[in-house]
């Protein structure tokens, strides 16, 4: 399955959640499907999308928060999985699009291409609900269940190593940052 | 046989930790991320015992940059508590999350490896801390006397918010360790 198909399938459900994505294909594809003021694209600082999600979730416990992460990013902040588990924000859904590579820099394979299992690592870190999905139907179902469960969930979505033709978008970083802050202020 | 080097055993000042904690709280901080080191133990315990403060214990200090960024955007004032080596460990997050997105950070870092440091392993980090703060153009001040702590913490917070940038406060040995400050020195 493709990341794009997964994002398209759940995009309508994202309107009432704070969404933080890591850089690269997931940011470009989500924005291409349809940018919303409640989407924030962390275009660098790999590893920190989940930490930002935790900061937002702890600060606004009544607001559902979704983090779109990548395997490369998660591998850079594995310790962050233990912190997420420790504080267990019930309103956070952590989606990891695992294409087994660092796509936007040339497609170098990551450790998930040779057996590293991120869902298992998340479970071992103590995250209460974890799953690996390989079809859009399973992804959509897991995403819906994460919301109704009202508990911290990590969904690892195994996707093809394909991405957009361009990664630079016309939404300036600072424009996004101030709009997202304004959204959070009024939500 | 080489002589064993005595480990530092001077107690951390609970009174001055309280002064720092109260200053942060009166500046509006309601979330603290922390990776403990010796000098921070009382500060962290105060955060733990305070029902009005959210304490997030980290696996690595850089996480605190993301957590503080998220908290800030969500309207919550936060502070990062770490050793200066934790600052070293956080630099990519500071530059490519906080500075790139103009997000304020209030970073309190214990100034290890500086004057009076008996632990050899701290000395390399101590030698580069201020140069790195300069290189990253992070404004900083040293907290070395209890009397100026509240004032400097508030001023640091004000600057962080007006400039939308990280600001650092170095917790000095003179402030944090009992019995290490100069006797009866008053500064205007």
For B63, which of A40, A58, A79 is closest by C-beta distance? A79
Give pLDDT tens digits for A34-79.
999 999 999 999 999 999 999 999 999 999 999 999 999 999 999 9
pLDDT of B180 strictly over 80: no
- Would an 8 Å CB–CB cutoff place A126 in contact with chain B? no
How far is it, in rounded angstroms, from Cα B29 to Cα B77? 5
Verify whether the Cβ–Cβ distance B31 to A55 is below 8 Å. Answer: yes
Give pLDDT tens digits for B109-129.
999 999 999 999 999 999 999
Quote the ipTM score.
0.97
Q: How many CB pairs under 8 A join A and B?
A: 111
Domain range list for chain B: 14-176
pLDDT of A106 strictly over 90: no
Verify whether the Cβ–Cβ distance A45 to B102 is below 8 Å. Answer: no
Give pLDDT tens digits for A130-164.
999 999 999 999 999 999 999 999 999 999 998 88
- Would an 8 Å CB–CB cutoff place B79 in contact with chain A? no
| CATH number (domain holding residue A117) | 3.40.50.970
Give the pLDDT confidence score for residue B10 in this predicted structure: 78
Give pLDDT tens digits for B2-52.
444 444 467 999 999 999 999 999 999 999 999 989 999 999 999 999 999
For A59, which of B71, B96, B101 is closest by C-beta distance? B71
How far is it, in rounded angstroms, from Cα B73 to Cα A184? 7
CATH 3.10.180.10 holds for B14-176 = no
The number of distinct structural domains making up chain A is 1
For A51, which of B67, B72, B103 is closest by C-beta distance? B67
The pLDDT mean for chain B works out to 93
- pTM of the entire structure? 0.95
For A59, which of B63, B76, B97 is closest by C-beta distance? B76
**Interface-testing mutation among A48, A61, A78, with chain B (most B C-beta atoms within 10 A):** A48
Burial class (CB in 10 A: 0-12, 13-18, 19+), A87: middle
Of B125, B12, B107, B123, the C-alpha closest to B67 is B107
Q: In angstroms, what CA-CA distances link A142 with A59, A128, B35? A: 25, 14, 34
Give the pLDDT confidence score for residue B7 in this predicted structure: 44
How far is it, in rounded angstroms, from Cα B8 to Cα B98? 35
| Parent domain of A48 | 3-186
Cβ-based contacts of B57 with chain A (< 8 Å): 83, 86
Cβ-based contacts of B101 with chain A (< 8 Å): 42, 173-174, 177
Give the pLDDT confidence score for residue B184 in this predicted structure: 40
């Amino acid at each position: 399955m493709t990341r794009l198909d997964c994002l398209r399938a759940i995009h309508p459900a994202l309107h009432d959640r704070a969404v933080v994505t890591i850089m690269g294909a997931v940011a470009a594809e989500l924005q291409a499907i349809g940018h919303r003021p409640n989407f924030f694209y962390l275009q660098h600082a790999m590893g920190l999308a989940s930490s930002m999600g935790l900061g937002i979730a702890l600060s606004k416990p009544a607001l559902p928060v979704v983090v779109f992460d990548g395997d490369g990013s998660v591998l850079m902040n594995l310790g962050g999985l233990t912190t997420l588990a420790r504080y267990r924000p019930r309103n956070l859904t952590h989606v990891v699009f695992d294409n087994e590579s660092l796509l936007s820099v040339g497609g170098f394979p990551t450790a998930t291409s040779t057996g590293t299992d991120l869902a298992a690592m998340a479970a071992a870190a103590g995250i209460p609900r974890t799953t690996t999905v390989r079809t859009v139907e399973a992804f959509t179902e897991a995403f819906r269940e994460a919301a109704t469960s009202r508990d911290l969930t990590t969904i690892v979505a195994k996707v093809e190593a394909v991405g957009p033709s361009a990664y630079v978008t016309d939404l300036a970083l600072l424009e996004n940052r101030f709009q997202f802050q304004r959204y959070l202020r009024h939500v | 046989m080489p002589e064993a080097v005595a480990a530092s055993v001077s107690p951390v000042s609970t009174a001055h930790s309280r002064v720092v904690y109260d200053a942060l709280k009166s500046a509006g901080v309601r979330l603290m991320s922390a990776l403990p080191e010796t000098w921070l133990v009382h500060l962290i315990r105060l955060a733990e015992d305070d029902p009005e403060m959210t304490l997030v214990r980290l696996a690595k200090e850089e996480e605190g940059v993301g957590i503080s960024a998220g908290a800030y955007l969500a309207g919550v004032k936060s502070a990062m508590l770490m050793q200066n080596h934790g600052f070293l460990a956080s630099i990519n997050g500071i530059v490519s999350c906080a500075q790139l997105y103009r997000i304020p950070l209030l970073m309190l870092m214990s100034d290890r490896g500086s004057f009076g440091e008996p632990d050899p392993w701290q000395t390399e980090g101590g030698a580069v801390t201020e140069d790195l703060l300069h290189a990253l153009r992070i404004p900083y001040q040293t907290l070395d006397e209890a009397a100026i702590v509240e004032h400097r913490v508030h001023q640091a917070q004000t600057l962080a918010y007006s400039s939308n940038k990280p600001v650092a406060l170095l917790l000095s040995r003179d402030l944090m360790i009992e019995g290490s400050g100069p006797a009866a020195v008053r500064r205007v």
